[in-house]
């Protein structure tokens, strides 16, 4: 086993620190291995989908929300107007349909204007006469008093933005972890670790508890170190008396347990 792990390892015993490793021949990791390290983590996948779906939802809701509703004040003119049409949209808010209202009014400048606004639920104006508020500087921007220019209130964007924000953070930390692992896999040394203990974390994946698994190994200088990795698939790290790992020679407490990575990575090290 040890012979197989060292077969393609060109950088062994050539350095004691990651600094200056650009000048050192190291493992050439194929694309399939790099891709597996980046895509193999569950948090990374969740982060990707949260960011993708949340970003799409943010774009959709952003197109039907108007921040002009925040700009109205008591100083903006209010005049009489008339509803021309009432249209039921395909949008719902709290199980109530959102309606679009087409209306017209005459501003204080004497000109007639036509505009639209929205209301959740059917509004009751039997005679169609309404009070209209508009921007003094731009009468095209107007709404029936009690309604809104956008289909949805602006604060819904704050709720929707949580998903791409959380997804982005998960991607950031996931990518940072993957890059660190790739660097260890590229320049690190292999060793056999013996299981020491495990600790519960507060994280669960697919209703399975994530554990911090500790292993003891001896580096090339004969010094003993304890390292850990986190996984919810603890059986992968308990199925053998010893587990192969790759560690950072300059900081041996930084290591990657190969059985926590996708099978394609382990097969690469075994060939």
Q: Is the pLDDT of residue 71 over 80?
A: yes
According to the model, what pLDDT value does residue 207 have?
84
According to the model, what pLDDT value does residue 15 have?
32
Judge contact between 29 and 9, C-beta under 8 A: no
Q: Is the pLDDT of residue 34 over 70?
A: yes
More confidently predicted of 217 and 24:
217
Neighbours of 20 (CB within 10 A): 8
Could you give the CA distance from residue 248 to residue 188 in angstroms, rounded to a whole number?
5
Task: Reduce the secondary structure of the chain to three states and give it as a string.
Answer: CHHHHHCCCCCCCCCCCCCCHHHCCCCCCCHHHHHHHHHCCHHHHHHHHHHHHHHHHHHHHHCCECCHHHHCCCCCCEEEEEEEEEEEEEEEECCEEEEEEEEEEECCCCCEEEEEEEEECCCCCCCCEEEEEEECCEEEEEEECCCECCCECCCHHHHHCHHHHHHHHHHHHHHHHHHHHHHHHHHCEEEEEEEEEEEEEEEEECCEEEEEEEEEEECCCCCEEEEEEEECCHHHHCCCCEEEEEEECCEEEEEEEHHHCCHHHHHHHHC
Q: Is the pLDDT of residue 260 over 60?
A: yes
Q: Is the pLDDT of residue 2 over 50?
A: no
The stretch 43-57 carries a mean pLDDT of: 83
The stretch 131-150 carries a mean pLDDT of: 92
Four-point Cα dihedral 257, 262, 263, 264, nearest 10: -110
Q: Is the pLDDT of residue 42 over 90?
A: no
Q: Is the pLDDT of residue 50 over 80?
A: yes
Window from 49-63, 89-103, 135-149, 162-176 with minimum mean pLDDT: 49-63
Four-point Cα dihedral 206, 176, 47, 213, nearest 10: 10
According to the model, what pLDDT value does residue 271 have?
67
Q: Per-residue confidence at 265, pLDDT binned at 50, 70, 90?
A: confident
Of 191, 200, 59, 86, residue with least CA distance to 147? 86
More confidently predicted of 4 and 112:
112
According to the model, what pLDDT value does residue 72 have?
87
Of 164, 88, 158, residue with least CA distance to 123? 88
Of 79, 150, 89, residue with least CA distance to 122? 89
Percent with pLDDT over 90 in the chain: 29
Q: Is the pLDDT of residue 220 over 90?
A: no
The stretch 195-206 carries a mean pLDDT of: 88
Q: Per-residue confidence at 6, pLDDT binned at 50, 70, 90?
A: very low
């Amino acid at each position: 086993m040890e012979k197989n792990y060292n077969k393609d390892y060109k950088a062994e015993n050539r350095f004691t620190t990651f600094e200056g490793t650009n000048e050192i021949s190291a493992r050439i990791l194929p694309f399939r291995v790099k891709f597996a390290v980046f895509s193999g983590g569950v948090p990374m996948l969740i982060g990707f989908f949260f960011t993708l779906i949340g970003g799409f939802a943010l774009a959709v809701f952003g197109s039907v929300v108007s921040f002009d509703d925040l700009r109205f004040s008591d100083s903006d003119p209010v005049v009489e107007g008339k509803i021309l049409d009432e249209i039921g949209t395909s949008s719902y808010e709290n199980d109530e349909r959102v309606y679009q209202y087409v209306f017209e009014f005459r501003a204080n400048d004497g000109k007639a204007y036509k505009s639209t606004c929205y209301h959740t639920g059917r509004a009751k104006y039997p005679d169609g006469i309404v009070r209209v508020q508009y921007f003094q500087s731009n009468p095209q921007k107007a709404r029936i008093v009690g309604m809104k220019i956008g289909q949805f209130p602006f604060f819904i964007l704050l709720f929707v933005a949580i998903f791409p924000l959380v997804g982005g953070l998960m991607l950031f930390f996931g990518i940072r972890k993957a890059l660190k692992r790739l660097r260890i896999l590229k320049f690190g040394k292999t060793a056999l670790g013996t299981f020491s203990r495990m600790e519960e974390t507060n994280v669960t994946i697919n209703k399975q508890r994530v554990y911090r698994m500790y292993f003891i190994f001896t580096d090339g200088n004969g010094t003993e170190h304890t390292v850990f990795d986190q996984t919810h698939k603890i059986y992968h790290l308990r199925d053998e008396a010893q587990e192969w790992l790759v560690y950072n020679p300059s900081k041996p407490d930084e290591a990657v347990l190969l059985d926590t990575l996708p099978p394609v990575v382990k097969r690469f090290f075994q060939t």
